[in-house]
Amino acid sequence: MRIVILKSHLLQALQTISKAIPTRTAKPILYGVHVAAMTDGLQLTAYDLEIGIQTLIIPAEESDEPTLQIEQEGSIVLHAKYLLDITRKLPHKLVRIDVTDLTTTIRSGSATYTLNGMDPREYPKLPEITEDMSLSLPADVFISLIEQTNFATATTEIRPTLTGVLFSFKEPELRFIASDSHRLSIHSIQAESKHAYEQLEAIIPRKSLLELMKILPTSDVLTDVYIADNQLLVNFGLTKFYSRLIEGQYPDISRIIPTTWRTAIEVDPKQFTESIERAALLARENENQVIRLYLRRTHIEITSHSPDIGKVTETVDPKAFEGEDLQIACNAKFLLDALKALQNEQVRIEFTSPGSAFTLKPSTKDRPLHLILPVRFGPNA
Amino acid sequence: MRIVILKSHLLQALQTISKAIPTRTAKPILYGVHVAAMTDGLQLTAYDLEIGIQTLIIPAEESDEPTLQIEQEGSIVLHAKYLLDITRKLPHKLVRIDVTDLTTTIRSGSATYTLNGMDPREYPKLPEITEDMSLSLPADVFISLIEQTNFATATTEIRPTLTGVLFSFKEPELRFIASDSHRLSIHSIQAESKHAYEQLEAIIPRKSLLELMKILPTSDVLTDVYIADNQLLVNFGLTKFYSRLIEGQYPDISRIIPTTWRTAIEVDPKQFTESIERAALLARENENQVIRLYLRRTHIEITSHSPDIGKVTETVDPKAFEGEDLQIACNAKFLLDALKALQNEQVRIEFTSPGSAFTLKPSTKDRPLHLILPVRFGPNA
């Protein structure tokens, strides 16, 4: 294998695939990136057996300088972390890589590295996904589906299905649902049905979605989603992202979301978030980070109490108030996570009773929706 | 105690004194900041029994808005971390603090905090330093003395005196010296001798200098340095910084610094640093981070070798070369630390033999000077 490549192109591709390099593994070959020089370009693959990322670098068609020259085809596996650190620091914009047997020489300006490569025949194969049905959605929409739900997944393994996000498509709606059993987040969009499945369910691991979100472009470029054989494949541009799926039946959430309310408020998200944050400063001492909300037509009072430190009272004027006065207690972090996900939209919060789940959503639409279970409202809560 | 204060002034003072708040201590009162409202201002004190910081906030003389009003004198000890977090998030630019017995109410805009204060009589007293002799030096010069030396102190407690920087004044020169016994850094300035000691030695703990450096202003405002009773006091503006000193005799370093050389090079600091960094990428695997330098009149070669990963060769053109060709091996991190301290000046490096210490300094002057002991140059070094 013999190639010359623009450092910036190699670096970007290495950064993309590095999300599938494990920090610790018993199989040293998994620390490696599989590098293959082919007639149509340079293909980089990383696969930790959970997440796989493959990206192809092709010569730029209109460019004054050479971006990639494949002088001789071939492949090698190189330690990804070293290759990334080395590439980042190379002195010249062009990089020459020569592989003889497993010995790999990297030259750039004044620097010459000779790395011990690993045998590409020992590198694990990416899952084969033969499905020809796919679902298409813009990358930025995909990111928003992840952002609105992924944070609400369970971080403990008690119920493995809850550690992932339910990807649920039923034409023409695609829903993402996540819950740690104390809160639930749901977002949905109208998905393109061209060449699409009619119905599809899969549970995608939290970590896979976190890594996918980092490499998805923040533009409306279309991503193609394939789900088959307990594997997810997301295809965008010249990059393929693979993830194993979580097996099992996701709990039925159809009856959890309340359809009525007795108290509803609308709040300015920034002002409300800052008030909750101030109350949360004292709530962080107790395990459930409990804050109390006193909802009154005239004003909302937010309080928190830590026996060791003291107490705090915040007053917020609601933008709108409908229904009855109510007192309710909840986990401040859950509230802040939901408000952060909803970003800068005016937020509508609907309550039924001090013991029932309440919901947050944009005041002008029904999705995304975040549901939070309150904590018991007692003298020491 | 009753005061009204500008949030920004309170926040800045809390950030300053927080450097003396311990992260973990068996004495809970040390988590507190001692707050005293006095006729001339608001005094904040933090003292973890190693480092003490006291700062005074006074009403701004020329200001359209009230910066500080002392309505009633008094004092209280408040949990510093909470007070800092709370102050940072307060909604209004003005903060009212009322203390009744130990109960402290903090009001700002929509927020009301009621904190459990601690008894100010239980707060430890800062050391009394009665010395009236002081040494004056500009704050930015003080910072450069610390920056050039503190990194070279020992991080293990095997020889306690080496965990600090030797502060050595002999009119008219002030020297800072640090060594971990594998390298040594020295910087000196002409110190103002007005009202100063004739001769003075003290060993200042590494951590104290790190914290002092963070709060010293980066201007030429004068700092007054007092040393007495095994304590250091640095006075600048309305802030006092206290540190215990390390007891013991600092090793005599007078014969360590070589006075002759057989090979001398001058290098561009940026180019040389980047070449060493690239070589160091493979050196980090071995304990001493060994790189080898092959100094030749035509060019300098830098190599490093890691049995598992591979090897690297770098070529650098020296700006100047005097004397004989030489091969030497050393710890890459020591070299990078010294180059970083010397910043962007052209660097002169003087060598005597492969087994002798070599020195780095600016090419136009003798201080700061960084000395590094080489490692044995063998086939596996």
Question: What is the ipTM, given to two decimal places?
Answer: 0.89
In Å, how far is B45's CA from the nearest CA of chain A?
A: 19
Q: Which of A193, A222, A251 is the last residue of a domain?
A: A222
- How many inter-chain contacts (A to B, CB under 8 Å) are there? 82
In Å, how far is A115's CA from the nearest CA of chain B?
A: 4
In Å, how far is B241's CA from the nearest CA of chain A?
A: 28
Per-residue H/E/C for A195-225: CCCCEEEEEEEHHHHHHHHHHCCCCCCEEEE
Instruction: Tell me if B240 is assigned to some domain.
Output: yes
Q: Which of A7, A90, A110 to mutate to test the interface with B (most CBs of B within 10 A)?
A: A110
Cα A222 to Cα A237: distance, rounded to the nearest angstrom: 8
Residue closest to B5 by CA, chosen among B59, B77, B75, B78: B59
Of A91, A104, A314, the CB nearest to B110: A314
Q: How confident is the model at residue A381 (pLDDT cuts 50, 70, 90)?
A: very low
Cα B246 to Cα B155: distance, rounded to the nearest angstrom: 14
SS3 A313: strand
Closest residue of chain B to A111, computed from CA coordinates: B314
In Å, how far is B114's CA from the nearest CA of chain A?
A: 5
Residue B263 has pLDDT above 90, yes or no: yes
Backbone phi, psi, residue A98, to 5°: -120, 130
Helices (H), chain B: 7-17, 80-89, 139-149, 206-215, 269-283, 332-341
Residue B381 confidence (pLDDT): 41
Residue A24 confidence (pLDDT): 95
- Averaged pLDDT for residues A11-38: 97
Residues A105 and A143 in one domain: no
Strands A369-372 and B2-6: unpaired
Contact A113, B311 (CB under 8 A): yes
Residues A186 and A296 in one domain: no
Q: How confident is the model at residue B194 (pLDDT cuts 50, 70, 90)?
A: low
Residue A64 has pLDDT above 80, yes or no: no
Residue A166 has pLDDT above 80, yes or no: yes
The Cβ-side half-sphere exposure at B290, using a 13 Å CA radius, reads 17
SS3 A328: strand
Of A82, A85, A281, the CB nearest to B85: A281
Residues B200 and B272 in one domain: no
Q: Which of A93, A122, A151 is the last residue of a domain?
A: A122
Residue B247 confidence (pLDDT): 96
Residues A115 and A147 in one domain: no
Cα A98–Cα A103–Cα A109 angle in degrees, nearest 5: 45
Contact B19, B214 (CB under 8 A): yes
Q: How confident is the model at residue A159 (pLDDT cuts 50, 70, 90)?
A: very high
Q: Which residue has the higher pLDDT, B377 or A141?
A: A141
Residue type, B335: L
Cα B36 to Cα B47: distance, rounded to the nearest angstrom: 14
Q: How confident is the model at residue B171 (pLDDT cuts 50, 70, 90)?
A: confident
Residues B7 and B56 in one domain: yes
Tens digits of residue pLDDT in B298-350: 999 999 999 889 999 999 999 999 999 999 999 999 999 999 999 878 999 99
Instruction: Tell me if A213 is assigned to some domain.
Output: yes
Residue A195 confidence (pLDDT): 64
Residue A280 confidence (pLDDT): 93
Closest residue of chain B to A89, computed from CA coordinates: B278
Residue B134 confidence (pLDDT): 83
Residue B291 has pLDDT above 80, yes or no: yes
* pLDDT mean across residues, chain A: 93
In Å, how far is B137's CA from the nearest CA of chain A?
A: 40
Tens digits of residue pLDDT in A283-298: 877 777 999 999 999 9
Q: Please state, as a whole number, how many other Cβ atoms lie within 10 Å of the Cβ of residue A65.
A: 8
Burial (Cβ within 10 Å: 0-12, 13-18, ≥19) of residue B327: middle
Residue closest to A318 by CA, chosen among A285, A275, A259, A281: A275
* pLDDT mean across residues, chain B: 93
Which of chain B's residues have a Cβ under 8 Å away from the Cβ of A278? 86, 89-91, 111
Q: Which of B110, B314, B317 to mutate to test the interface with A (most CBs of A within 10 A)?
A: B110
Cα B368 to Cα B148: distance, rounded to the nearest angstrom: 7
Residues B307 and B356 in one domain: yes
Helices (H), chain A: 7-17, 80-89, 139-149, 206-215, 269-283, 332-342
End-to-end CA distance of chain A, in Å?
66
Tens digits of residue pLDDT in B100-146: 999 999 999 999 999 999 999 999 999 998 776 788 999 999 999 99
- Averaged pLDDT for residues A340-355: 93
Residues B214 and B305 in one domain: no
Residue type, B133: M
Instruction: Tell me if A356 is assigned to some domain.
Output: yes
- Averaged pLDDT for residues B185-203: 83
Of A111, A275, A309, the CB nearest to B79: A309
Residue A196 confidence (pLDDT): 61
Residues B234 and B274 in one domain: no
Residue B40 confidence (pLDDT): 93
Instruction: Tell me if B249 is assigned to some domain.
Output: no
Residue A325 confidence (pLDDT): 97
Q: How confident is the model at residue B377 (pLDDT cuts 50, 70, 90)?
A: low
The proportion of chain A whose per-residue pLDDT surpasses 90, expressed as a percent, equals: 85
Cα B282 to Cα B45: distance, rounded to the nearest angstrom: 47
Of B89, B278, B282, the CB nearest to A277: B89
Instruction: Tell me if A200 is assigned to some domain.
Output: yes
Residues A217 and A327 in one domain: no
CB contact under 8 A, B312 and A79: no
Domain count, chain B: 3
Instruction: Tell me if B255 is assigned to some domain.
Output: no
- Averaged pLDDT for residues A197-222: 94
Residues B110 and B24 in one domain: yes
Tens digits of residue pLDDT in B66-99: 799 999 999 999 999 999 999 999 999 999 999 9
Residue B133 confidence (pLDDT): 76
Instruction: Tell me if B253 is assigned to some domain.
Output: no
Residue A198 confidence (pLDDT): 75
Of A82, A114, A313, the CB nearest to B281: A82
Calculate the alpha carbon distances from A105 to A78, A113, A199, A346, B69 in Å.
11, 6, 50, 57, 70
Residue A61 has pLDDT above 80, yes or no: no
Determine the structural domain holding residue B82 and report its residue range: 2-122
- Helix (H) or strand (E) holding A295, with range, is strand A290-295
Tens digits of residue pLDDT in A271-287: 999 999 999 998 877 77
Residues A110 and A161 in one domain: no
Name residue B240's beta-bridge partners: B54, B235
Which of chain A's residues have a Cβ under 8 Å away from the Cβ of B312? 111-114
User: Can you give the CATH number for the domain in which A363 is found?
Assistant: 3.10.150.10
The answer to whether the bond into B374 is cis (omega within 30° of 0) is no
Residues A116 and A37 in one domain: yes
SS3 B277: helix
Orientation angle between helical segments A206-215 and A139-149, nearest 10 degrees: 140
The B-side interface with A (CB below 8 A) comprises: 79, 82, 85-86, 89-91, 104, 110-116, 274-275, 277-278, 281-282, 308-316
Minimum mean pLDDT range among A348-352, B114-118, B226-230: B226-230
Instruction: Tell me if A73 is assigned to some domain.
Output: yes
Of A104, A112, A313, the CB nearest to B112: A313
Q: Which of B122, B151, B177 is the last residue of a domain?
A: B122
The proportion of chain B whose per-residue pLDDT surpasses 70, expressed as a percent, equals: 97
Residue A197 has pLDDT above 80, yes or no: no
